[in-house]
Structure 1
Amino acid sequence: MKKLLLIFLLFGSLLLNNCTKNEKIEIIKIQEDKIENQMIRAYQEGMTAFENRLYFEAAKKFNEAEILFPQSEWAPRSALMAAYAYYYDDYNNRAISELINFFKKYPDHPNTPYANYLLAMSYYNKIVDEKKDLEPLKNSKKQFEYIVENYPNTEFSLDSKFKLDLINEMIASKEMYIARHYIQKEKWIPAINRLKFIVTEYDNTVFIEEALHRLVEIYYKIGLEDESRKYAVLLGYNYPEGEWYKNTYKVHKKEYKIEDIKNENKKSTLKKLKSLLD
Structure 2
Amino acid sequence: MFKLKILVCFIILILFGSCSKEVSKKDLIKEKSLELQVEEAYKEGIDALNDGDVLFAAKKFNEAEILFPQAVSAPQSALMAAYSYYTQDYYSDAIAELKRFLKVYPTHKDLGYVYYLLAICYYEQIVDEKKDLQSIINAKENFNIILKNYPSTEYAIDAEFKIDLIDDILAAKEMYLGRYYFDRKKWIPAINRFREIIDNYDTTIYAEEALHRLVEVHYTIGLIDEAEKYAQLLGYNYQSSKWYENSYSLFDKTYEKRKKERFKTYKKKGGGLIKKFKTLLE
TM-score by length of 1: 0.86
Shift of 1:32: 2.2
Give the superposition deviation at 1:14: 6.5
CA distance in 2, matches of 1:73, 1:42: 15
Alpha-carbon distance in structure 1 between the residues aligned to 2:174 and 2:28? 62
Query: Residue 58 of structure 2 aligns to which amino acid in structure 1?
Result: A
Q: Tell me which amino acid in the other structure corresponds to 2:144.
A: E
Deviation at 1:107, TM superposition (A): 1.7
Partner AA of 2:206 in structure 1: F
- Separation in 1 of the partners of 2:4 and 2:251? 118
Which residue is 2:187 aligned to?
Answer: 188
* Alpha-carbon distance in structure 2 between the residues aligned to 1:185 and 1:3: 113
Aligned to 1:269: none
8 Å contact kept, 1:202–1:208: yes
> Could you tell me how far 1:103 is from its partner in structure 2?
1.3
| Paired residue secondary structure (1:200) | helix
Report how far residue 24 of structure 1 moved. 3.2
Distance 1:73 1:117 in 2: 22
Cα 1:75/1:225, change in 2 over 3 Å: same
Q: How far apart, CA to CA, are the structure 2 residues paired with 1:49 and 1:64?
A: 14
Identity %: 50
SS of the residue corresponding to residue 222 of structure 2 reads coil
Q: Is the 8 A contact 1:49 1:55 kept in 2?
A: yes
Superposed displacement of residue 21, structure 1: 4.4
**Equivalence map 1:1-278=2 (5 Å):** 5=5, 9=9, 19-256=18-255, 257-258=258-259
- Asked if the contact 1:45/1:58 (under 8 Å) is kept, the reply is yes
Aligned to 1:273: none
- The one-letter code matched in structure 2 to 1:245 is Y
Instruction: Measure the CA separation in 1 of the matches of 2:13 and 2:141.
Output: 63
Q: Against the structure 1 CA distance between its residues 96 and 215, is the aligned structure 2 distance closer, same or farther, given a 3 Å change threshold?
A: same
CA contact (8 A) 1:56 1:89 kept: no
8 Å CA contact 1:246, 1:261 repeated in 2: no
C-alpha contact 1:179 1:191 (8 A) present in aligned 2: yes
1:109–1:254 distance in 2 versus 1, CA, 3 Å: same
Q: 2:266 matched to which residue of 1? A: none
Distance 1:5 1:247 in 2: 114
Query: TM-score under structure 2 normalisation?
Result: 0.85
Larger Rg: 2
> How many correspondences in the alignment?
261
**What RMSD over aligned residues (CA atoms) do the two structures have, in Å?**
2.4
Deviates most, 156-165 or 67-76: 67-76
- C-alpha distance in 2 between matches for 1:227 and 1:261: 30
